[in-house]
Structure formats: C-alpha cells, structure tokens
C-alpha cells in the first residue's frame, strides 16, 4: 500500500511540473513576442521595455515555480508516506 502511494506521488510530481510548465511557457512566449514587436516599433524605449519584460517574465514564471513547489511538497513532505 505504502509502495503504491510512493509511485502515485512520483507520478503526480512529474505531471504537476510538466503540465504546469505549459501555461507559463505559452504566456512567456506571447510576452516576449509582444516585447519584440514593441522594440521593433520603438527602439528608443528599449530600456523601459526590457525592464518591464523581465519583471513580467518573472511574474509569469512564478506560476511554474508554484507547480515546482507543489511537486517538491509531494516528493519530500508527503503526509501520507510514513
């Protein structure tokens, strides 16, 4: 029984990280594409655009990090594994 819970936990961690990465990846792609577009139109405001882009990317990346934290919780702090 305990063995089964461990197998399911590892599966759950892998699924959480892999599927949790899809959304942020799409979002980051759109953000970078929009920033490139803005850079091509207004190269003179490159500083502001790239600063805002980095902060925005970090915010989006946080969603993937949340999934990573959940995966680590499942792996290392699972309350159901004795």
Residues that bind other proteins (CB under 8 A): 54-55, 58-59, 61-62, 65-66, 68-69, 72-73, 76-77
Between residues 38 and 52, which has the closer beta carbon with respect to other proteins?
Answer: 52
Please answer whether residues 81 and 5 qualify as being in contact, where contact means their C-beta atoms are separated by less than 8 angstroms: yes
What are the Cα distances from residue 6, in Å, to 14, 16, 72, 76? 12, 15, 13, 11
In the complex, the smallest distance separating the C-beta of residue 19 from other proteins, rounded to whole angstroms, is 17
Between residues 41 and 82, which has the closer beta carbon with respect to other proteins?
Answer: 82
């Amino acid at each position: 029984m305990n063995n089964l819970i461990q197998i399911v936990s590892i599966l759950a961690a892998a699924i959480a990280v892999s599927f949790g990465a899809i959304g942020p990846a799409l979002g980051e792609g759109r953000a970078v594409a929009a920033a490139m577009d803005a850079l091509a139109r207004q190269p003179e405001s490159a500083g502001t655009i790239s600063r805002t882009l980095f902060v925005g990317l970090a915010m989006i990346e946080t969603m993937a990090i949340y999934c990573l934290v959940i995966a680590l919780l499942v792996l290392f702090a699972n309350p159901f594994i004795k």
